[in-house]
Structure 1
């Protein structure tokens, strides 16, 4: 049997309905090259597996624990047979001509090694038409918040080279992906791994482009949106690692509002070593439970602190009463000591005569 040209890799973790809709949208692709769908059950909930049992023809990769985005995609790529890999989020809904548009762009004479999609939300508002880097390691999603009309006016709806594209819907040449050793575990569990990959592809001489004809409806941050603090933590943590690795590249980044054709020049990265304390970091599969456990410990500690505060207040009150009693006793003692024995005898004799 001839291997398909394209392997679409979809990570599945906790979204059931969204995953089913994503797979339905893949089944509805038109004029696409022959493709397979590789679903990575990335420490997925049991209902994910049950839903996938009803979908024929899938290549399924089962990981006992959530390996994170990059490692999960790497596992899917290892099981894929296509000469092109397309990474697609499980909360993404590709339009019917999406895959055909990616393949057509990949076949053009400039031979890009990565082709990104136009991401829009359910209201047809642009999320991203390619992205660019900033000197502070932040990123600019080009066209974010614009209507399609405004994006067209601003020249965003034409295919062009970019710094990088989101891996929520990204075509990558398989040979180039393998040569770059795939996604880097440095950014486990999520964020910045797709930016890092595409910089390494570009450093090796590859071209990264966006293809606005390849349209995907996507709801950003669905997997981590229920824990925004955790999402913010990952962004800061991985952003710092990315900034350290690509410092010389970021130093040459253009201004955020520079012309679209002005790209960041990619320079060799610096080695990055994780801090020693991260060696004992919790696995992403248990991170939520670990955080919940820490919060419970903090709650109990707070309750214990309140109890101690009440006890301390009681002790302070008792101490204050003791001080008052001690002070009264001292005044009485001072009074007694200031009276001579003779005075006391005279006082008693005088009192006896008065009674007599």
Structure 2
């Protein structure tokens, strides 16, 4: 890539059925991003007759449509389409995405400014998962993440290719994106989400939420966690009144390490924290009710179970007793941190 020239950007859209949503996605890409991109590579993963015909009837000159002879799944479809591109950067979109405006200037700006940022994603416009105003903004306005989600992302094509793309062992889909994120982090790359760049996402449009979905998720989650056992960490950290800047470096660094390894951190404080470091850091009220709620999460999904309790400085004696009781009942590890 010529550093003085604007990067060439191609779009990759893997498609499997859902003709109406797929057309909406393609139409929105052309309408809002058409002036910022070169080619849209449509990888039809052996869709049904309706979707096949819809794609062939599209007349946008930027479209390159490839009909795969057999269904390969999300990862292989994206890998093949990216391999057909020689762009500097590639924007990969699920076919159930709707583009709402031209977010590429925002994404390109941060990718150009940070040479170690491998991938940047827009935020799901209807997502209630996070209050983005509480997260530390990195230069360019993005929020750090250690968990890569592949619904929509702009990535350096050379990095994607060097990493081998998505691992084909994940088959038709789920967790191949999380796996790629772990590998990127291990190679020293950063990942981000830009909250000012929004898209609409109809989750699960191709596979739905039935038996096939559940089996895919269960199988690939087990595969992912077997590769990265430290990603099973779910740390419940309880403290007195403190903010990120108040924490001793050894505590802050340990928190960051948990999240960097793919784990989750639930930090409970008497009052809400004004700032959180990345999207894997969650904050709630330090109360008996909140602790019970977090402890019970593991009943439905083992990977969401609290695995260790950290007692940070400033926790009242009564709450320490409650935490110690839960640690004993659930046979958890407990770590007490002392103030410097």
Tell me, yes or no, whether TM beats 0.5: yes
Asked if residue 108 in structure 1 is aligned to residue 113 in structure 2, the reply is yes
CA contact (8 A) 2:116 2:188 kept: no
CA contact (8 A) 1:164 1:209 kept: no
Q: After TM superposition, give the deviation of residue 68 of structure 1 in Å.
A: 0.4
Structure 1 pair 99–13 and aligned structure 2 pair: CA distance change class (3 A): same
Partner of 1:231: 213
Partner of 2:99: 94
Asked if residue 155 in structure 1 is aligned to residue 158 in structure 2, the reply is no
Structure 1 pair 219–55 and aligned structure 2 pair: CA distance change class (3 A): same
TM-score by structure 2 length?
A: 0.64
Partner of 1:56: 60
Q: Which of the pair is proportionally richer in strand?
A: 2
**What is the CA deviation profile of residues 11-56 of structure 1, one whole-angstrom value per residue up to 9, with x for unaligned ones?**
1111111111111111122596333110001011222232223232
Q: Within 1, Cα distance between the matches of 2:132 and 2:147?
A: 20
Asked if residue 126 in structure 1 is aligned to residue 133 in structure 2, the reply is no
Runs (5+) with no aligned partner, structure 1: 128-141, 144-150, 265-356
Structure 1 pair 14–31 and aligned structure 2 pair: CA distance change class (3 A): closer
Q: Which of the pair is proportionally richer in helix?
A: 1
Q: Within 1, Cα distance between the matches of 2:279 and 2:220?
A: 22
SS in 1 for 2:36: coil
CA contact (8 A) 1:95 1:217 kept: yes
1:3-152 alignment to 2 at 5 Å? 5-29=8-32, 33-53=36-56, 54-57=58-61, 58-120=63-125, 125-126=126-127, 142-143=129-130, 151-152=131-132
Q: After TM superposition, give the deviation of residue 248 of structure 1 in Å.
A: 3.6
Q: Within 1, Cα distance between the matches of 2:47 and 2:6?
A: 27
RMSD: 2.5
Partner of 1:257: 266
Q: After TM superposition, give the deviation of residue 249 of structure 1 in Å.
A: 4.8
Partner of 1:167: 150
Residue 167 of structure 2 is aligned with which of 184, 190, 197?
A: 184
Structure 1 pair 35–101 and aligned structure 2 pair: CA distance change class (3 A): farther
Q: Within 1, Cα distance between the matches of 2:68 and 2:122?
A: 27
CA contact (8 A) 2:17 2:47 kept: yes
> More displaced, 242-251 or 168-177?
242-251
Asked if residue 246 in structure 1 is aligned to residue 249 in structure 2, the reply is no
Number of corresponding residues? 237
Partner of 1:222: 205
Q: Within 1, Cα distance between the matches of 2:198 and 2:148?
A: 13
CA contact (8 A) 2:135 2:277 kept: no
Q: After TM superposition, give the deviation of residue 10 of structure 1 in Å.
A: 0.4
Asked if residue 202 in structure 1 is aligned to residue 211 in structure 2, the reply is no
Q: After TM superposition, give the deviation of residue 179 of structure 1 in Å.
A: 1.0
CA contact (8 A) 2:43 2:81 kept: yes
Structure 1 pair 260–152 and aligned structure 2 pair: CA distance change class (3 A): closer
Structure 1 pair 165–45 and aligned structure 2 pair: CA distance change class (3 A): same
Q: After TM superposition, give the deviation of residue 100 of structure 1 in Å.
A: 2.5
CA contact (8 A) 2:43 2:77 kept: yes
Q: Within 2, Cα distance between the matches of 1:42 and 1:16?
A: 12
Q: After TM superposition, give the deviation of residue 181 of structure 1 in Å.
A: 0.3
Q: After TM superposition, give the deviation of residue 4 of structure 1 in Å.
A: 7.3
Q: Within 2, Cα distance between the matches of 1:112 and 1:66?
A: 32
Q: Which has the larger radius of gyration?
A: 1
Runs (5+) with no aligned partner, structure 2: 234-257, 268-274, 281-340
